[in-house]
Structure 1
Amino acid sequence: MKEFIDYILQFGTLNQQQIDLILKKITTLELQKDDYFSEAGKVSNQVGFVLDGIVRVCYYNNKGEEITKYFIDENNLVVDLESFETETPSSAYVQAVNDCKILVFSRKDWRELSDTIVGWDAIVHKLISKALRQKVERRSPLISEDATTRYLMFLEIYPNIVNRVPLSYVASYLGITQSSLSRIRKNIR
């Protein structure tokens, strides 16, 4: 839990009483590999912070193919923000790539923190802004590049992930087949 407090203190100041309140609201969720943190078609009702493991955000395209949008690793927030804030069904899945330990706040507790802690909304705004910037930075450069360049950029963007997730997820994220990814990996060694 110290990791989460250290994380949020990068974005604002909290006194010990506020920190204690936050710690009271946290529960720990252990997800097994392939379990869902949130699912398409359901309203996202929790905000998480990944302590250990990797989750991915994915969806199914109109051909029924599974597409990985991005990965979230340790010391990052995990939430389907649009679904959580608008209380509408999600269009994506948030799935554990491997066994994960996630600190979780329910919608009720998250709102209670907002109502109780002066400055909480400003901290949350900064957290969300950072997460959205990361998301754009991680996707935008990949769109117009060739497959080899996209893979090399993936290695830069996610240096701690490539050896911890199935190659099929990496290939899906890059928009290429797994056999193409294998060829690319072989050629750059």
Structure 2
Amino acid sequence: MDKLINYLLEFGQLNQPQIDLIKRKVKVVELKKGEYFSEAGKIPRQVAFIEEGLFRVCYYNSKGDEITKYFVDENNFAVDINSFNQKIPSSEYVQAVTDCTLLVFSTESLNDLSATIIQWDGIINKITEKALVEKVNKLSPMLAEDATTRYLNFLEKFPNLANRVPLSYLASYLGITQSSLSRIRKSI
């Protein structure tokens, strides 16, 4: 719980009664590797702060291929923010890559916090803005790079993820086949 509170405090001030309220509004949830936090076709009704573990966000393209868009690790929030905010069905799956310990806020809890803590919406807006900027920075450079450069950049930017992510997910994220990824790994 301390990780969550420290993370929130990076984006704004909270006093002890507000911190206590946040702790009462959050629920600890354990997810096993392979389980889904949220699924395509359903409206997301909760937001997770990843205390321990790793998620991937994925979807199925028009050919039925599973595509990994990005990974979300510890000390980050996970939700399909567009679907959550607009209350529309998601087009993405949020799946546990490893066993996960989550601190989960329901829609109702978030609404209560918004109504009670004056600076809550400002904190959430700053967190959302940071996450969107990071997402763009992760995805944009990959569009113009060759596969080897994408893999090397992944290793450089996310060294702690390389050994935690199955090769099939990593290959999908990099936009290459698993056999291509194996060749790249052997050559470097």
Shorter-chain TM-score category?
over 0.9
Give the secondary structure class of the aligned counterpart of 1:143.
Answer: helix
TM superposition shift of 1:157: 2.2
Describe how 1:110-189 pairs up with structure 2 within 5 A: 110-188=110-188
| Structure 2 gaps, min length 5 | none
Query: Which residue in the other structure is 1:71 paired with?
Result: 71
Give the secondary structure class of the aligned counterpart of 2:48.
Answer: strand
- Percent pairwise identity: 62
Distance 1:133 1:45 in 2: 23
Aligned length: 188
Give the secondary structure class of the aligned counterpart of 1:24.
Answer: helix
Structure-1-length-normalised TM-score? 0.98
Deviations 1:26-52 (A, max 9, x none): 101111111000000000000110011
Deviations 1:7-43 (A, max 9, x none): 0100000000000000000101111111000000000
Distance 1:108 1:82 in 2: 17
Residue 147 of structure 1 aligns with an amino acid whose one-letter code is A
Deviations 1:121-175 (A, max 9, x none): 0000000011111111111111110000000111122211110010000000000
Describe how 1:73-88 pairs up with structure 2 within 5 A: 73-88=73-88
Distance 2:158 2:66 in 1: 20
**Considering only aligned residues, what root-mean-square deviation do their CA atoms show, in Å?**
0.6
Describe how 1:87-126 pairs up with structure 2 within 5 A: 87-126=87-126
Residue 114 of structure 2 aligns with an amino acid whose one-letter code is S
Deviations 1:52-81 (A, max 9, x none): 110000000000000000000000011110
Distance 2:160 2:114 in 1: 33
Give the secondary structure class of the aligned counterpart of 2:144.
Answer: coil
Greater than 2 Å deviation, 4+ residue runs? none
Structure-2-length-normalised TM-score? 0.99
